[in-house]
Chains A and B, each alone.
Chain A
Amino acid sequence: MNIDSIKNGVVIDHITAGRAMELYRLLGLDGVGVPVAIITNALSSKKGKKDIIKIDADIPVDLDVIGFVDPGATVNMIKDGAVVEKKKMKLPQILKNVLKCKNPRCITTTEQELPHVFRLTDADHKTYRCIYCETKAK
């Protein structure tokens, strides 16, 4: 299967196989109106299988979301057909409006306009806690 190279845009590579659709949704790529190619189960020399997302437009992508969903992914920024920047992902310290606090006693349940913000409290266990009530994200 061939997917043409992109000229200007973003390639999210080394996505753990099976996670591309989740990333696609969380990055809001379904609503941006630009060409996006999702390749699943591509061959990978390191992982065996991987997913890839190619965005054929120079649009901003939320690296924190990618780092949270798949810290092993890499993001390649493409300009004039060449990789101009390669970013390795890591777990973000702060996640804003990616997760929702499920604690019924949290202030975010009554103050709807508040952003849902989570802080990384334990990188080894990928534990995020709500900054308001400290409830662990599920």
Chain B
Amino acid sequence: MKRSVIDITDLTKEEIDALTNVAEDIISNPGKYAHICAGKKLATLFFEPSTRTRMSFEAAMYELGGNVLSMTDAATSSASKGESVSDTAKVISCYADIIAMRHSKEGAALVAANAASIPVINAGDGGHCHPTQTLADLLTIKREKGRLGDLTVGLCGDLKFGRTVHSLIQALSRYENIQIVLISPDELRLPDYVYNDVIIKNNMKCTQTSDLLWALPKLDVLYMTRVQKERFFNEEDYLRLKDSYILTPEKLARAKKDTIVMHPLPRVNEISVAIDDDPRACYFKQVLNGKYMRMALILKLLADNKAIDEVTV
């Protein structure tokens, strides 16, 4: 059956756990997976530029032995002639076996998934969802902390527009004994719909603060985010808030010895480069884990759609 992943909630907790198991098996036995997608094609439709996510998907498909059809610039595609997302998805369904799509408009991936006859993976739709980043985050936490429950997770920076934060909270809500600490300026606090519909609805323990230094010693995971210029309607607000939360070695000294520092990247200046060599810095590991989880997800969706055999670990 054709399945798409638009939001992290499109995957059950059991499916996410199975994906992390496959990803860990890929890490241990890359040769087993090197030709599994031979003859299959991934179309990367990037209506909004994002080199790293697109390359991660493409690297994932190449490492599975598959091929890639790439649209990297909406300005030179049919979208610039006014073609709808639905029509583009229908057309690409004739060429490829699976689509990874990024678009600046919220909900664009759902529209594509409804129209396509092949699986669609949402690689980011505006400020809305970015499920494969969440999968990367979950694998990183699991590998670094050895578990996905019993954790105090601090989310810092732009919690209003930061789609990775919303998806991560949603995903963590399914695990036992998660404490969330929301660290942001008032202007960039978590939207009500995430706070009410996820944190309150799931009875998650949650603290809100604007004080990073206060929160740091309590955390098992510190998830930093960038204050993104493209999410603001005016530059004044962006300039006023962009330096609100910068993590330096002095501040990190207040954290526990085994607190991990994560970031969806790219960073601007919110994590000092002096922290990169600290063993607690995990943001580049996240990038690598993202590729493995995208490999696992591509395998799952192709197998669900009977395009390849099911993978057993």
Contacts and interface: CB of A to CB of B under 8 A. Distances in A.
A113 B87 CA distance: 12
Contact of A107 (B106, B127, B193, B197): B106
Most chain B CB within 10 A, of A108, A111, A113, is at A111
Given A107-B105, A107-B111, A134 B193 contact: yes
Contact of A106 (B84, B105, B193): B105
Interface of A: 103, 105-111, 113-114, 121-122, 129-136
B171 interface: no
Contact of B106 (A113, A133, A136): A133
B166 to A, nearest CB: 9
B156 interface: no
B165 to A, nearest CB: 14
Interface in B106-142: 106-108, 110-111, 125-128
A105 B126 contact: yes
B86 A111 contact: yes
Contact of A132 (B104, B106, B127, B193): B106
A123 to B, nearest CB: 13
Given A113-B84, A133-B128, A134-B128, A108 B193 contact: no
B92 to A, nearest CB: 16
Nearest to B7: A134
Contacts of B103: 107
B107 A131 contact: yes
B252 interface: no
A106 B107 contact: yes
**Interface residues of B, dominant DSSP:** mixed
Contacts of B125: 107
Nearest to A104: B233
Contact of A103 (B104, B106, B192): B106
Most chain A CB within 10 A, of B105, B108, B110, B193, is at B105
Interface in B76-104: 84-86, 103-104
Given A111-B85, A111-B111, A133-B128, A105 B193 contact: no
A114 B108 CA distance: 11
A132 B197 contact: no
Contacts of B193: 129, 134-136
A121 B193 CA distance: 10
The 5 closest A-B CB pairs, nearest first, are: A132-B107, A133-B106, A107-B105, A107-B107, A107-B108
Given A105-B126, A111-B86, A133 B197 contact: no
Nearest to B110: A132
Nearest to B107: A132
Given A105-B128, A134-B106, 12 more contacts: A106-B106, A106-B107, A107-B85, A107-B106, A107-B107, A107-B125, A108-B107, A113-B84, A132-B106, A132-B110, A133-B126, A135-B193
A108 to B, nearest CB: 7
Contacts of B111: 107, 111, 114, 132
B106 A105 contact: yes
Contacts of B127: 105
Most chain A CB within 10 A, of B106, B126, B192, B197, is at B106
B116 to A, nearest CB: 15
Contacts of A136: 192-193
